[in-house]
Structure 1
Amino acid sequence: MGYSEVYCHLCGVSFNIARRRKPGEPDLASWDYTGRQCDEPGVDEVDSLEQCARNGCAVAVKYPKGDDDDVVNDPDYAPEDSDEEPYEYDSDHDSDSGDAMSVDEEGSTATTDAYRDFLSSTLDPQGQFDGEPVGSFGYSNTNTCGRTETILPITGDEMPGGHDPEVLEHIPGPNCTEANAYSGYRISLEEMRGCRTAQFLVHKSSAEGGWKPDGLHEPWETSQDWFLSGVCDGMASRDMGDSTVWPARGGLESPWADNVNFDTEWTPSNDLAMPFHPWCFDIFCRQSKAQFKHVNVSGLMKWRNAEFSWEDFHSFPRAGEVYAAQEQFWKHEPGAEYLVANPLYVPCLPSLLAAAKENNTDKSPEVTKIREQGRANLESLPLDIRLLIVGLLDSADITSLRMASTVFTNLPNSIWYRLVRNEMPWLWEAWDEGEIEHTPSPWTVMTANEMKLLIEERKHYSKILAEEYTPVNGLLDFLLPNPSAGPDVKLSRTNANWHQVYVQIKQNWDRLKGLRNRQRIWEDVEEVMCLIKKYS
């Protein structure tokens, strides 16, 4: 078969997303489609240096870090951009032989190795994982982690500085056209958070020893025939076996999942799990609650099983950028970065909404271009008639009307609220309190690597606490709690400036990549809702 990708069944996007860092970002901001963090492609692999020069690309010349610039080998090491002062007992205290830990000659190497392993896993957790960066270390750290490098612009068809092309890392420029990874110039790490996280809907008959609530379960899982698996970073190719998930919920470490049942004669459809992004399933849950008053997992899987062929999956109506990218290896087209932006946690959106919450006075801009023809007739209409007219129009017609007469310049806040609700049904921050009861799933707030790290840390601390005869359960939950998500931000229908919300979202649409992706996924899930009703 060769390399063959499995996609999110709800939105059609690959889990095997690659990224290339921009100058100033750490190495861990780059990874290939397997999740491996590496320097490829090198400059020797690009098609044309002249093209790179036109696109503003550069090369990175790296210099290895020494032991005194390493977070593991040097306890006093602090990144160059760190604002923290060293602790007094780290910097000023000189230990003598009485303070030092005594280790015999034979045991010193083993002790040192164990200590280095501890430091590596604690201070540099990213070293344990391929794929997305782990926690705040990856998403807030913008230095190169002690390793120095020189960034040289590509200016023509010759190698910059006469360096060997095999040791130069290609750094994409603002206009780079390489399609093997998304560029850090075009989308930030924070915006992409969770793009490689895959989860699966598994039939309870596949659970080892039967499925039981485990503290991470969703309320609907106790009553339905399906349950959520753990999560993984990226998905293995169809010819490479199944991906390992963390935790192994239902005792299942490697769910068998696909978009297609290739052997309907011998493989019951329920044996195959459904793959999706946790954020896509969250959007499904919201729409399901709105339309069915509950999370209709049985209806979802009934549709999946009814349309489970290659033709069914690939004929599902999706955005054009998704179809264009679904090649053997996901095609990372410049300009389509929004496809992998987190739709739930969107940078810049909270501040935009907070500004509308604080400024609840309508400050609609004055119209400067006014057509005099017909102006008097419009102004003579009673207020209730004018509002009735506006209530029947969409945003484009309202804009034209505001240009035609000053009497329509300052419209009531309720008009803009209607436009937001009608044109942006996916903006749940505008939903009324109590419209649906929903809190984002804990699976949406951690990447697969962060979940894996948490599980390993809980296992490690559990062993230590047990050896100390300490009650484990309560203390472990206090020290290393399972993930939880807070409620959505909500705007007050009466107090928010809805004109400002509408205009700011429209004006910043290109910057709000996650919101754009939310709209796309929302529309895909709307189609799923129609198909669920079809097979009900």
Structure 2
Amino acid sequence: MVKISRHHHLEENRQFSQFTLTKSRYGRILRTPLCPLRLGEYFDPELDRDDDADSTTDPGTFLEHIAGPECEESRGYNGHTVSALTVQSARTAQCLLRKPTGDEEDAQGHVAPVWSPEPDDEPWEENSSWMLSGLNSLIVEPELGPSKDWSPVRHGVREVNDYDMWFEDVPHIGMVHHPWCMEVYQRATLKQKNKVDVDGLGEWWELHQVENVKRSNGKMLRYCRQQWWEHERGSEFLITDPLEDAGLVKLLQEAVETSQHFNPADSAFPPRAPNKSTAKSNQQQNTTLDPFSTLPAELLQQILAELPNTSIGAVREVSRAFTHIPISFFYPLVRRDYPWIWEADQETSAALPQYSRWTKAVIDKAARKLNKSGDLVSREEDKIVTGQHSTASDPDSLTNAAVGNGNDEDHITPISLPRFETNWFKLYASLKKHSGSLPGLRNRERIWRDCQQIITMIDEMRARSA
């Protein structure tokens, strides 16, 4: 389980007149009358204090450590290396479980009725043998029994047994996962199989195949995933929002061209300036010696498409026939080399135009969504209003946001890049440059690669049983 400590930047919505503040190079201490947060609160008694801070506090007053850049506290991630907004929903879980058949009794003696459609069902649930549970942000160890308070109760299943593996005689047993990860899986299976295959995922889990996946970034993941989560510096991306990463959103937005003069058939590279004294002789020589100079543009692009990326620049240096490489040439390269950028895939955007209402609850909880123009809205504009004030620690805020009214406002629509108004070369170059530095994008790639393995294992599983 991931624990997120109060490692925040001081600028984050604070009225400092209400606090007594002390400083050190390892962090700061706030003496505050506010109640303690439920998520990863702690105070380091060894931290140096100034004389103006009392050694004791009044009843109802709590001390809170605000991490400095050099803070080495391992009980949470440092707010100078990762934003609390991008990780605070990492503990939100959901379960994939078989639909109730009306004959399973839980530990409390309750029998869920036979599954029937409900307004908050996902499109795939209607024809699937599987369903989703409600949400939970307080998953406990399996030895302590099933986690409590899955909310809302869906299809009459009050008690969900969340386990890492399937057991035959356990009623309403479910595969626990992040709603984030289910979104990535659906798009990966759509890309690889042209359909969303959730049934295959559930059947794969029932065959105890989870441990057979060779996880991306496996060494770091194994180190962090102990009985308690180890908050190793550099591993922050493992729990960062893979869907609405602010850096990725900005990168995608900047690739869209608004000028009416933009043409994807234009060259991605500036024209060369040949030496005037030798231009004519070079042109005659190149026409004679360059075998590519007589080929049509379509064939030249086909040749480029077969080359490794590192050779594209090299072939431009040795042959002027490849001087003009259109911007549109990089569109299939983006889809080939970065398949997890589903915003560039029109087929995926058409088949899965929205994130699920459950994912919207997770993203809204972190106050990070897009408005209709595709711009990031401020946290003040992005609060959930559900009849009562909801906070990041309020489990009911997840439920209220998820249930909604069954309309498009209950969903978040990811960016869909227009085919002929996007500078695909600019996007390709930006992805190549920043993929390792955007934590949400790194996490999306990691989950996507794991999903690819799972999909292959599902196909092999079905081939064996055919």
SS in 2 for 1:187: coil
| Distance apart, 1:434 and its partner CA | 6.6
- Show the counterpart of 1:467: none
- Cα deviations by residue, 1:39-96 (Å, 9 ceiling, x for unpaired): xxxx9xxxxxxxx97xx4222242547xxxxxxxxxxxxxxxxxxxxxxxxxxxxxxx
Q: 1:316 to 1:305 in 2, by over 3 A?
A: farther
How well do the aligned residues superpose, as a CA RMSD in angstroms?
A: 4.0
> d(CA) in 1 for partners of 2:329 and 2:89?
36
Contact 1:15–1:235 (Cα < 8 Å) also in 2: no
- Cα deviations by residue, 1:348-390 (Å, 9 ceiling, x for unpaired): 333332332225456746599x9xxxx9566973354643432
- Show the counterpart of 2:362: 447
- Show the counterpart of 1:253: 158
Output aligned runs, 1:16-31, within 5 Å: 16-18=3-5, 20-25=7-12
Q: Report which structure shows greater RCO (CA 8 Å, sep ≥6).
A: 1
Q: Which runs of 5+ in 2 are unaligned?
A: 15-21, 41-45, 58-62, 105-110, 275-284, 367-382, 389-402
TM-score normalised by length of structure 1: 0.62
> d(CA) in 2 for partners of 1:415 and 1:505?
16
| 2:30 is aligned with 1:58 | no
> d(CA) in 2 for partners of 1:23 and 1:214?
44
**Identity of counterpart residues, as a percentage?**
27
The number of equivalent residue pairs is 385
Contact 2:244–2:440 (Cα < 8 Å) also in 1: yes
- Show the counterpart of 2:169: 268
- Cα deviations by residue, 1:259-289 (Å, 9 ceiling, x for unpaired): 134xx5xx43774200011111112222333
Contact 2:349–2:416 (Cα < 8 Å) also in 1: no
| 2:137 is aligned with 1:233 | yes
Contact 1:246–1:448 (Cα < 8 Å) also in 2: no
| Distance apart, 1:177 and its partner CA | 3.7
| Distance apart, 1:178 and its partner CA | 3.1
- Show the counterpart of 2:90: 195
| 2:225 is aligned with 1:326 | yes
| 2:80 is aligned with 1:185 | yes
- Cα deviations by residue, 1:156-214 (Å, 9 ceiling, x for unpaired): x9823145678764332334443321222112233225322100012223572232322
- Cα deviations by residue, 1:326-358 (Å, 9 ceiling, x for unpaired): 111111111121111111112133333233222
| Distance apart, 1:26 and its partner CA | 5.0
> d(CA) in 2 for partners of 1:256 and 1:512?
35
- Show the counterpart of 2:99: 204
- Cα deviations by residue, 1:423-442 (Å, 9 ceiling, x for unpaired): 10111111124775113211
> d(CA) in 2 for partners of 1:221 and 1:129?
36
> d(CA) in 1 for partners of 2:317 and 2:386?
62
- Cα deviations by residue, 1:99-136 (Å, 9 ceiling, x for unpaired): xxxxxxxxxxxxxxxxxxxxxxxxxxxx898449xxxx
Q: Which runs of 5+ in 1 are unaligned?
A: 1-13, 28-42, 44-51, 66-126, 133-156, 459-475
Q: Choose the corresponding residue for 1:242, options 142, 146, 150.
A: 146
- Show the counterpart of 2:396: none
Letter in 1 for 2:115: W
> d(CA) in 2 for partners of 1:509 and 1:175?
26
- Show the counterpart of 1:338: 237
Q: 1:255 to 1:523 in 2, by over 3 A?
A: same
TM-score normalised by length of structure 2: 0.70
Letter in 2 for 1:20: H
Output aligned runs, 1:358-369, within 5 Å: 358=257, 360=262, 364=268
Contact 1:197–1:448 (Cα < 8 Å) also in 2: no
> d(CA) in 2 for partners of 1:482 and 1:276?
24
Contact 1:402–1:408 (Cα < 8 Å) also in 2: yes
SS in 1 for 2:346: coil
| Distance apart, 1:402 and its partner CA | 4.4
Q: Choose the corresponding residue for 2:211, options 313, 321, 346.
A: 313
> d(CA) in 1 for partners of 2:434 and 2:363?
30
Q: 1:178 to 1:406 in 2, by over 3 A?
A: farther
> d(CA) in 1 for partners of 2:290 and 2:10?
57
Letter in 1 for 2:253: A
Q: 1:436 to 1:306 in 2, by over 3 A?
A: farther
> d(CA) in 1 for partners of 2:241 and 2:227?
24
Q: 1:297 to 1:161 in 2, by over 3 A?
A: same
> d(CA) in 2 for partners of 1:402 and 1:178?
51
> d(CA) in 1 for partners of 2:143 and 2:328?
55
